[in-house]
Amino acid sequence: MDKVPMTAKGKRDLEEELRRLRFEERPAIIKAIAEAREHGDLSENAEYHAARERQSFVEGRLKELEGIISHADVIDPSLFSGDVVRFGGNIILADEDTDEESSYQIVGANEADIATGLLSCTSPLARALMGKSVGDTVEVTAPGGSKSYEIVEVKFV
C-alpha cells in the first residue's frame, strides 16, 4: 500500500477514532452480545443479530484505520511558504462567474470534509489547484458543469 498523505490533526483524529472503537465500542458490543445470548434462542434473537452486525462493522473499521495509520505520511504545512498551492495549504478562491470567495485547506482523503472547508487532495478541484500560484485561474469540470476559479490567496499555517 502506498503512503497516505495527511495532516498531523488528521492523523490524531484517526488515532482517536481507533482508540474509541477499541476501548469503548468493542467492549460495549461484547457485553451486548453476552446479554443477547442470555435471552435464549439465537436464531430469532434480533438483539443478538444487531450486536453481531455492529461488531462486524467495528472490526472492519478497526482494520481499515490500522492500515491507514500505518501508512500515514504526515505532512506539516507550516514548513511550506510562498504562493504556490501545495498539500496542507489554505487557499482562498474567487468564483469567476459570481466573484464569490470560498476558502479551503487541502488535506488527505481520509480527513476531508467539504462542509468545513477540508478539501481532499484527490478531488478534481485540489488536483487542478496543485502547483498553481496566486493570480492563476483554474477550470474544473464538476457534476454541475465547468467552473472557473481564481486563486486569491495561499497560506501555510
State the Cα–Cα distance between residues 33 and 51, nearest whole angstrom.
6
| CA 26 to each of CA 49, 76, 147: distance values in angstroms, whole numbers, following the listed order | 15, 32, 45
- The answer to whether residues 59 and 91 belong to one domain is no
Residue after which a domain boundary falls, among 51, 74, 97: 74
Burial of 10 (0-12, 13-18, 19+ CB in 10 A): buried
State the Cα–Cα distance between residues 60 and 68, nearest whole angstrom.
12
Domain that holds residue 57: 4-74
**Confidence band of 124 (pLDDT split at 50, 70, 90):** very high
| CA 81 to each of CA 40, 51, 125, 138: distance values in angstroms, whole numbers, following the listed order | 64, 50, 21, 21
Element (H, E) at 153: strand 145-155
| CA 142 to each of CA 35, 52, 77, 146, 147: distance values in angstroms, whole numbers, following the listed order | 50, 40, 27, 6, 7
- The answer to whether residues 32 and 87 belong to one domain is no
Region of residue 128 (left: phi > 0; alpha: psi -120 to 50; beta: else): alpha
- The answer to whether residues 54 and 87 belong to one domain is no
The domain spanning residue 139 has which CATH number?
Answer: 3.10.50.30
**pLDDT tens figures, 14-71:** 999 999 999 999 999 999 999 988 887 777 788 899 999 999 999 999 999 999 999 9
- Stretch 80-86: mean pLDDT, rounded? 93
Lookup result for grid cell 474509541? 20
- Give the pLDDT score at 1: 60
R_g of the chain, CA atoms, integer Å: 21
Task: Say how many domains are in the chain.
Answer: 2
- The answer to whether residues 84 and 151 belong to one domain is yes
State the Cα–Cα distance between residues 135 and 44, nearest whole angstrom.
65
Residue after which a domain boundary falls, among 74, 105, 124: 74
- The answer to whether residues 144 and 99 belong to one domain is yes
- The answer to whether residues 65 and 91 belong to one domain is no
